[in-house]
Amino acid sequence: MSHGRDIGEAIIRPRLSIPGRLGLILLALFGLLPIYWLTSTAFMKKEAVFALDRPLFPVDPTLDNFIGFFQNDALLQALANSFIVSTGTAVLSVLVGGIMAYSLSKFRYRGRNAIMFMFLIGQLIPGALLLISLYLMLSSAGLLYTYTALIISFTTFTLPLVVFLLKGIIDGLPDDILEAAKVDGLSRIATMFQIVFPLVVPGLITAAMFAFMRGWSDLLFALTLAGPDKQTLPAGLTQAFIREGTADWPALMAASLITSLPLAIIFILLQRYFVSGLASGAVKG
Amino acid sequence: MQQAILERPATREATEPTGPRSGRRSTLGAKDRTFGFMIALPAVLLFLVIAIYPLVSSIGTSLYDQSLLTPDRTFVGFDNYVAIFGEFMARLGTTLTFATLATIFPVLLGVALAVLLNARLRGRNILRGTLMLPWLLPGVVVSFLWAWIFNDSYGVLNHLLTMVGLPEVSMLGNPTGAMAAVVIAKTWHSFPWIMVVALSVLQTLPAEQLEAATIDGATRSQRFRYISLPHIVGPVALVATLEFIYNFGNFDTIFVMTGGGPGDSTTTLAVSLYQLAFGSYELGKASAMGVLWLILLAIISSAYLLLNRRLEKR
């Protein structure tokens, strides 16, 4: 490292050639132009997008599409449902998953490997495959069309990710800390909640974030297990706009932006945790 | 990196072999093991009840003629399987087409972007951040957006094509176009994930290796071909397999954009299962479809697990 950091840097991160730059611009345009179109349509008037000389940017911008969303009781209810269900999913996932991760990380017992294997496999089961049995089960338990139905379903599907993410982090805590807590006479439960979890708060936040996003984005369960009163935004939007046949595209894009905004805010606030969590969560399974 | 952290206590233990108190496992008695097992129970029970039991019980449902609307059911043996087998094979073909294309394109795009963004570049952090946006959006939003872009009459794609004097294209109105449309939408949704993984792996490449190769006279493309590429190929293959499995079960992209149409040209297994259960109320047939799917999934998952194990050993 002592010999010329610049030379090393130039090798690891070479400058981009002209074709490289052009390629990057093209790929970046594919990534970003749709975002532009989503945003700019949301500010257009309904008549403008159906006009023959429709513009490529909001010439005469309007907020009507956003105001319309907040005047629509069904969509407002769906927005509230989304917050309730996603927050519930985040809290339950981190609580149940955090305890599970601690157990897998610091204790050795019979069946531990089987449990790890079950979660590894569980990550791969698609929701559609469980849909019918889940529907019948929740129905006979009297839980169909409740927040609880959605929260426990989303939590189950988020658990593998949360468990492996947090296990990786708790693995990094030295056992001496646990020993010290034991010597100090702290109970096992207290050690977990007062020593272990406070030390891995960034990990807990990352996990909560992923769980929140999972609950916020799902369509299939929201469409089938929630019913009209408890359904979250993805299901609400699908039914409000697509099923009616006449798509009011500017209103739909405004509603889409509102639906995406909480996730964008979470991302901006927690970007640092996010990228590392995403990479480790994926690669470590 | 996590591997390195994991190993640290073990090595320290080996260099300081002192009394039983400092030993790692010695103070973890039977009571601790019981405690460890007990606190695992909530998650395990939840998972058994919500994920594993439904899988098993769907095998039972698949042997009955059962409607969503009435609680009573009649045992029909394997009749449901016979009835849906032809449809299953057709949907499987569509699912494989979608899952394969919607994996290949994001992987190519994501890796290309990772390599380009790994270069010295002004504003690369901002670019990387904004390119994450598509991945953040909920699946339904992605579908709405691309359905709007591809709209035959008012979509911006045809508008732009007309402006530069090219003929308009009908995407969602014909089978090939509809498949292309859902693949493009899914590609746009997934590439940031692959990009971030590939980029983070590229950044763990030891500088010494690249420097040594340069001193030995390796050109830039040789360094990429023989050092960077082999370095990222394993993790990218793992993510690609995961992506394939997720795409195999994708519901929202296709359901919102095309509803499985036109005709049944984009009806994948997930969409078909939903339609059978909640459109035709045929729970038995839908479950039979699910069981056949489960068998396939087991095979694909084994590939993922093998890959995962091989990478962990490395």
Burial class (CB within 10 angstroms; exposed 0-12, middle 13-18, buried 19+) of B309: exposed
Which one of A132, A178, A246, A276 would you mutate to disrupt binding with B, by most B Cβ within 10 Å of its Cβ? A132
CB neighbour list of residue B116: distance below 8 Å, 6 or more residues apart: A16, A20, A23, A24, A27
Sequence-distant (6+) residues with CB within 8 A of B48 are none
| Residue-range domain boundaries for chain A | 15-61, 65-283
SS3 of residue A15 by DSSP: strand
Residues in A touching B50 (Cβ below 8 Å):
130, 134, 152-153, 156
pLDDT in tens, chain B (314 residues): 222 222 223 333 333 333 343 334 445 667 788 888 888 899 999 989 988 888 888 888 888 888 877 777 888 888 889 888 988 999 999 999 999 999 999 999 999 999 898 887 788 888 888 899 999 999 999 999 999 999 888 889 988 988 888 888 888 889 999 999 999 999 999 999 999 889 888 888 877 887 888 888 777 778 888 888 888 888 898 889 889 989 999 999 999 999 887 888 999 999 999 998 888 888 888 999 999 999 988 888 888 888 878 877 66
Helix H segments across B118-206?
124-131, 133-136, 139-149, 156-163, 175-202
- CATH for A65-283 is 1.10.3720.10
Contacts of A38 in chain B (CB under 8 A): 141, 145
Host H or E run for residue A103? helix A73-106
The answer to whether the Cβ–Cβ distance between B42 and A99 falls below 8 Å is yes
On whether any CB of chain A is under 8 Å from the CB of B164, the answer is: no
| Residues on chain B touching A218 (C-beta within 8 angstroms) | 252
Q: B230, B188 in Cβ contact below 8 A? A: no
Q: pLDDT tens across A221-270, in order?
A: 999 998 888 999 999 998 887 765 667 899 999 999 999 999 988 888 87
Q: What is the DSSP string of B281-298?
A: -BHHHHHHHHHHHHHHHH
Domains of chain B by residue range: 62-313
How distant, in Å, are the alpha carbons of A246, B85, B176, B258, B266 from that of B263? Answer: 20, 19, 12, 10, 8
User: B21: how many CB neighbours lie within 10 A of its CB?
Assistant: 9
Give bridge partners of residue B74 from the DSSP assignment: B65
Q: What residue has token string 């792996």?
A: B201
For B271, the closest chain A residue by CA position comes to: A128
Summarised one tens digit per residue, pLDDT across range A44-54 is 988 888 877 77
Distances in whole angstroms, Cα of residue A17 to Cα of each of A30, A224, B121: 20, 51, 11
- Cβ contacts below 8 Å, chain A against chain B, sum to 311
Residue B134 has which token pair? 């598509």
Of the candidates A164, A178, A147, the one whose C-alpha atom is nearest the C-alpha of residue A78 is A147
The CA dihedral of B62, A221, B237, B307, to the nearest 10 degrees, is -50
In angstroms, the CA B5 to CA A274 distance is 20
| C-alpha to C-alpha distance for B251 and B266, rounded to whole angstroms | 11
Q: Is 1.10.3720.10 the CATH classification of the domain at B62-313?
A: yes
CA distances from A80 to A44, A229, B175 (A): 26, 11, 38
Residue B260 has phi, psi (to 5 degrees) of: 95, -10
ipTM: 0.89
